[in-house]
């Protein structure tokens, strides 16, 4: 942190700031120029609130030079984090596809979905068993039963499972069925849940809250990492703006920003990012071009009869077509993607 004193600051003002910093355990490097005194501040314990210093007499400006997300930031780790889940590498050169319905609706439904998801070249089956619905009267998910169906469907097709957990009480049971724990947009700042996930030996996909800044997303990742779990995947899923033609505004620019600020993998969710089926494909293409390490896509065998988010779910052939297009884009950005369909064996 750098504190720039006003040109009019008195010796007493400077001394008072230095004393306050010393009390807090900081080391101070003072530099006195022709007009301004600048204090370089290092060390100290815990997070600093610059406002505590901005309020002191004679202080002109307080500039933070190290970001508060120590573990999630590139300063902590220069090279990209690659999360390896039974051979599926997230954050490496290959773009990883995660696809499936918004909700697990039935045993037969998710088994059908897993087949076309596998055929598309995706590596991870998505599906919600605990659903955060805006209305308490909407379908709330099948709970643990849904997770069991999902595990079975994924295992039949050699896929991993990603599913959202809303309540930390469900974690011990869910751990048996899930490979990646999804934290939904509405829970990005549920710090009790995040702290609990810090103790879990499972990767966590953390979605950006719909009104959260990039920094807040990284600070939420920091909560999980501070507990010891460094396997965090960041997910851009659209933010709420004044625009009403889409459900959310897909913030594509967050992808390269997150990639430069953090070493963690970044996944894009253009399904929630737009909320409209025919906008999902273009935003998925843009996400990969912008540097996303993977995509989380809602796709359903019969979207017109889906119990949730049907309007933003791709038809199976649209998912297939998207992957074909992504193959071209990924090559242009020096990445790889799912193998060609003929190389996939589906039982
Ligand atoms: C979901 O993935 O189905 C979901 C509810 O997402 P979000 O938390 O981004 O709204
Ligand atoms: Mn959904």
d(CA 332, CA 347): 32
* pTM given for the model: 0.87
**Phi (first) and psi of residue 64, to 5 degrees:** -80, 130
Q: At residue 298, does pLDDT exceed 90? A: yes
Residue ranges matching CATH 3.30.70.1140 in the chain: 2-63
128 Cβ closer than 6 Å to some ligand 1 atom? yes
Predicted pLDDT of residue 30: 85
Is the CB of 185 inside a 6 Å radius of any atom of ligand 1? yes
Which pLDDT value is given to residue 346? 56
Q: What is the average pLDDT score of the chain?
A: 94
Residue 74 in this model has a pLDDT that exceeds 80: yes
Residues 222, 253: Cα–Cα separation, whole Å? 21
Q: Which of 60-69, 191-200, 218-227, 294-303 has the lowest mean pLDDT?
A: 60-69
Residue-wise pLDDT tens digits, 253-292: 999 999 999 999 999 999 999 999 999 999 999 999 999 9
pLDDT digit string, tens, across residues 12-60: 999 999 999 999 888 888 888 888 999 988 777 666 788 989 999 999 9
Residues of the chain within CATH 3.20.20.70 domain(s) are 83-332
Q: Which ligand 1 atom minimizes the distance to the CA of 186? A: 8
- Is the pLDDT at 343 greater than 60, yes or no? no
Model pLDDT for residues 135-171, shown as the tens digit of each residue: 999 999 999 999 999 999 999 999 999 999 999 999 9
Task: Work out which ligand 1 atom sits closest to the CA atom of 238.
Answer: 9
Q: Return the CATH fold of 83-332.
A: TIM Barrel (3.20.20)
Exposed / middle / buried, residue 111 (Cβ in 10 Å: 0-12, 13-18, 19+): middle
115 Cβ below 6 A of ligand 1? no
Is the model's pLDDT at 341 over the cut of 80?
no
According to CATH, the superfamily of the domain at 2-63 is Phospho-2-dehydro-3-deoxyheptonate aldolase; domain 1 (3.30.70.1140)
Reported as a pLDDT band with limits 50, 70 and 90, residue 228 is: very high
């Amino acid at each position: 942190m750098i504190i720039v004193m006003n040109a009019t600051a008195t010796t007493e003002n400077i001394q008072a700031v230095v004393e306050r910093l010393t009390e807090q355990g900081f080391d101070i490097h003072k530099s006195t120029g022709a007009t301004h005194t600048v204090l370089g501040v290092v060390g100290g314990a815990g997070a600093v609130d610059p406002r505590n210093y901005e309020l002191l007499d004679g202080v002109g400006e307080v500039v933070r030079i190290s970001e508060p997300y120590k573990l999630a930031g590139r300063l902590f780790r220069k090279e990209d984090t690659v999360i390896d889940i039974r051979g599926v590498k997230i954050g490496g050169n290959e773009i990883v596809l995660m696809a499936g319905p918004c909700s697990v609706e039935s045993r037969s439904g998710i088994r059908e979905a897993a087949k076309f998801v596998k055929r598309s070249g995706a590596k991870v089956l998505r599906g919600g068993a605990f659903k955060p619905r805006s209305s308490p009267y909407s379908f709330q998910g099948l709970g643990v039963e849904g997770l069991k169906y999902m595990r079975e469907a994924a295992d039949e097709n050699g896929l991993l499972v990603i599913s959202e957990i809303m309540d930390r009480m469900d974690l011990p049971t869910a751990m048996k069925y899930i490979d990646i724990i999804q934290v939904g947009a509405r829970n990005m700042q549920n710090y009790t849940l995040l702290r609990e996930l810090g103790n879990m030996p499972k990767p966590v996909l953390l979605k950006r809250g719909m009104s959260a800044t990039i920094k807040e997303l990284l600070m939420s990742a920091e909560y999980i990492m501070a507990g010891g779990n460094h396997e965090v995947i960041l997910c851009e899923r659209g933010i709420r703006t004044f625009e009403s033609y889409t459900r959310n505004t897909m913030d594509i620019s967050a992808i390269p920003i997150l990639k430069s600020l953090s070493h963690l993998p970044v996944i894009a969710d253009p399904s929630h990012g737009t909320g409209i089926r025919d906008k999902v494909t273009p935003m998925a293409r843009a996400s990969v071009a912008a540097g996303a390490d993977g995509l989380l896509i809602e796709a359903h065998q019969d979207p017109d009869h889906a119990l949730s988010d049907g309007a933003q779910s791709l038809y199976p052939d649209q998912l297939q077509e998207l992957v074909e297009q992504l193959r071209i884009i990924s090559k242009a950005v020096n990445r790889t993607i799912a193998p060609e369909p003929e190389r996939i064996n589906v039982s």
